[in-house]
Amino acid sequence: MHTEISKPLLLFIDDDRLQRKLFPEVLESLGVEIQTAANAENALDIISDRRPDLILCDAVMPVTDGFQFCKRIKDDPATRDLPFAIITSLSQNVGERSLQVGADDFFLKRGSEDLLRLRVRMLLDIAGRGADIAEPLESFAGSRVLAASESALLLSQLSLQLAPAGIQVDTCGGAGEVLDNLDGPPPALLVLDAALANGALKDVAASVRSQPTWAGVPILVVAGKGEEPEAGIPIDDWVTKPLDGREARRRVTMALRYGRAMR
């Protein structure tokens, strides 16, 4: 766990020199210290000197690729608790391969920079508070998720995807119903459809953050493919439609871990 005095340390590993220069610039606004390594062996030297709070590693590298290095880190009892995310330009089976080697998350190099910053911040906050980065969704059985959408299909999909883990999903048909809930007990997670009528996403998120008992509730947005929520909306993550079951569960799990860590 890092102290309030020291900045969180992020270790970025990529054999591409240009990426080692450009990629950290995207994350500078997070107020983190960033060290870079050109390969797995260089990274191990850095880790032995000072344990990072988060490792971001390119998937495709010579000798030891990102998946192999992740498995090496996660198989070692001395380092298995280090948060590790795969960075890749690959588009096939990245999520599945990342899960197989124990990665805590994965990011696309050509994806949204705003989304990258949100997810890196979430991983760092979880690690910085000493929370378990690997808690499975099932460990949140009994938790309540409040989901708001005008799409009955979307709400049904989310409920079905989370039910096997014992997650209760309460649904709202629109923004007004969410606001009506603010006088009651907060959920463990709020899921908002970006397509709420009349651009209500921003107003709902702001109202939630201004309500003292709800202010710490993680907000996960479901956005259309290729769309991004408007900049400045106080959310924690987003996932795209149509909802892929595995990815939806991954994003919900991470948000629940974040909410538990921040309480």
Domain segments of the chain as ranges: 9-128, 137-262
Residue type, 105: D
Distance CA 3, CA 53 (A): 11
The answer to whether 104 touches 133, Cβ cutoff 8 Å, is yes
Separation CA 13–CA 16 (nearest Å):
9
pLDDT tens digits, 223-253: 998 888 888 899 999 999 999 999 999 999 9
* pLDDT score, position 94: 77
Q: Confirm whether 9-128 and 137-262 share one CATH topology.
A: yes
**Is it the case that residue 69 has pLDDT exceeding 90?**
yes
CATH superfamily for domain 137-262: Response regulator (3.40.50.2300)
Q: Are 139 and 166 in contact (CB under 8 A)?
A: no
Can you tell me the distance from the alpha carbon of 30 to that of 140, in angstroms, rounded to the nearest whole number? 28
If residue 178 lies in a helix (H) or strand (E), which one and from where to where?
A: helix 175-181
Q: Spelled out in words, what is the top-level CATH class assigned to the domain 9-128? A: alpha beta
Q: Determine the average pLDDT of the residues in 191-220.
A: 95
Q: In sequence order, which residues have a C-beta less than 8 Å from that of residue 176 and are 6 or more positions away? A: none
